[in-house]
Amino acid sequence: MRAVLVASVIGASACAVVVLCSFLPVVPPLPPGAWLPLFVGIFAVFPVPIIASRRSALRPLLGADTQELARRYWWLGLAGLVTMIAFITSVPSLQGQPTIVHGGYFLDDHGTLIRVSHDTYLRALAANERFFTGIACSFYAAAAAMCHALGAQSSSAHATGGTSWPG
């Protein structure tokens, strides 16, 4: 479970860096699809804590004090903030999928090609990248929170002499 926690934290951090860098005009967007491994990585990381939590039923987490949860999982709130900023700033500017046709820059809006400048094309690439890595950031952060909670539950079970799921 620790490997999944580490992978989730690394994935969330990488996604947050991509989202934050996509706001900087001096940082060019990643090549199209370069963020795809981060997005696909969700499917390798996210199911593990879901399956483990079904076995152990995260009851201590659900009954915890709200302030205690906020203190322990402040970084999950930060990832949520990054995700909301990514959505709010990318959705209005996505007027179509950025594409290049015969050397010209276009936004493909469901088959309708809209000719745009190079700067608009780069902004659309950055918005696209921000949108998808924002989604990935939220899933990685949720997986990390579940892994952390399962690890804390496992540690408390071992400390009290109880049993826990093998991991």
DSSP-assigned beta bridge partners for residue 113:
108
pTM of the model: 0.74
Distance CA 138, CA 35 (A): 15
Which of 135, 118, 97, 146 lies closest to 18 in space, CA to CA? Answer: 135
Per-residue pLDDT of the chain (167 residues; tens, 9 = 90+): 788 889 998 998 898 888 888 888 877 777 777 888 988 999 999 888 888 877 665 555 555 566 776 777 777 777 778 788 888 888 877 788 888 999 999 999 888 999 999 988 888 888 888 888 888 988 898 888 888 877 766 555 544 444 444 44
Which residue is associated with the tokens 């700067």?
Answer: 119
